[in-house]
Amino acid sequence: MFQLDDYDKALLRLLQQNNRLTTEQLAEEVNLSQSAVQRRLTKLRNEKVIEADVAIVSPLAAGVGITCVVDVVLHEGSSKSIDKFKAAMKNCAEVAQCYYVTGTYDFVLIVHTRDMAHFEAFSKKHLMDNQNLKHFYTHVVMDKVKVSYNVPL
């Protein structure tokens, strides 16, 4: 396991807020040289501490009108069934996040669709017609109170 020191944590905090900061700006903020910052960033990326450098797109700008949280219960909990469901969700464009969880449900999905008709089509194709799916429960998001991609450091 890669050990983060205080400089790494400081850099990661800054990048989680704005990953477009230059190495010059980062160096000034954490009191390191630009070359030291660049070496650390390269190592953080190579070690997969930084998993991706992405742009977070506004769902509304992309035409997403509805976000749903979907709780899924499978008929069978075999590793083959679970792996098959995981693979199906990975290949589904509407599924933004898929979590295999403990407790009452087997999976929790975050699903983005244009509208309710789109969600109905999604649920028929990927949920209702899935032979191993026992039940699913849908929660339509009324308000995004907090959405964060930051990891506490």
Please name the residues in contact with 151: beta carbons below 8 A apart, sequence gap of 6 or more: 12, 16
Range of the domain at 18: 6-46
pTM of the model: 0.88
Residue range 30-72, pLDDT digits in tens: 999 999 999 999 999 999 999 999 988 999 999 999 999 999 9
How far is it, in rounded angstroms, from Cα 83 to Cα 63?
A: 31
Q: Which CATH number covers residue 39?
A: 1.10.10
Q: Which CATH number covers residue 106?
A: 3.30.70.920
Integer Rg of the chain from CA:
20
Task: Judge if 84 and 122 occupy the same domain.
Answer: yes
Residue range 85-129, pLDDT digits in tens: 999 999 999 999 999 999 999 999 999 999 999 999 999 999 999
